[in-house]
A and B are shown apart, each in its own frame.
Chain A
């Protein structure tokens, strides 16, 4: 079990934990943070692969992920604030207006 495998396993674990968090937590803000955690897991895997392959493509992708994450949070937080204003709660179970 070498360094690369450990790091990739960590990346998978972070991604899985983030996914679990999205599914099991009620709080919208916590869910958002779990998504950030998933992005971090992906970033870690990218850096690991880049390191292993001695290539800078992975690093470029990581940079792009940073940008996406920043853009995402910049829109997500105002949306959450709006949601809370309309329903007075952060509990995701209350938000089921689009039920089929």
Chain B
């Protein structure tokens, strides 16, 4: 029993992580305090990172934790801490589109899930990924050979973001001064 469990540990863990990610994501909708929502999001991201790791794409898992949790969410948490906790938006959680929004979201999920069930019923699983195809080396080589233009464009995008952020800050300074 235990041995069988161990043999299928990968799969079990995968399902476990998936369930946890889903629950955390659902909590994001429900929780009132932004800080808690942020923590729920972080937990979702961490579980997703686990899933990536189980799928064998370790560097994506690493990036998930580094960039999302390490950079994006830290930024977000700071923003939350900067802002006033007594804001009315903190008490009244939901907008007036609560019911239609949830209905539409569920319909969205149902539509896609139905399509998924229909389309993927006859598709055999791709089998375990060839570890080589997802190594960091192949990835880096692909980026610098095949996708170098995209890679460069991301740097342009980042520069643009930095400039934009600076511009926004300037606007705020001017307003104050």
Contact = CB atoms under 8 A, between A and B. Distances in A.
The answer to A–B direct touch (Cβ < 8 A) is yes
A13 to B, nearest CB: 6
Interface residue SS majority, chain B: helix
A64 B28 CA distance: 25
Interface string A42-54: 0110011011111
A53 B97 CA distance: 39
A81 to B, nearest CB: 7
B87 A20 contact: no
Interface of A: 2-10, 12-21, 23-30, 32-34, 36-37, 40, 43-44, 47-48, 50-56, 59-60, 62-64, 66-75, 77-82, 84-85, 89-93
8 contacts: A6-B14, A25-B94, A27-B89, A29-B83, A33-B38, A47-B60, A60-B150, A68-B157
Interface of B: 11, 14-15, 18, 21-22, 25-26, 28-29, 34, 37-38, 41, 44-45, 48, 51-52, 55-57, 60, 63-64, 67-68, 71-73, 75-76, 79-80, 82-84, 87-90, 92-95, 97-98, 100-102, 104-106, 108-109, 112-113, 116-117, 120, 123, 125-126, 129-130, 133-134, 138-139, 142-143, 147, 150, 154, 157-158, 160-162, 164-165, 168-169, 171-172, 175
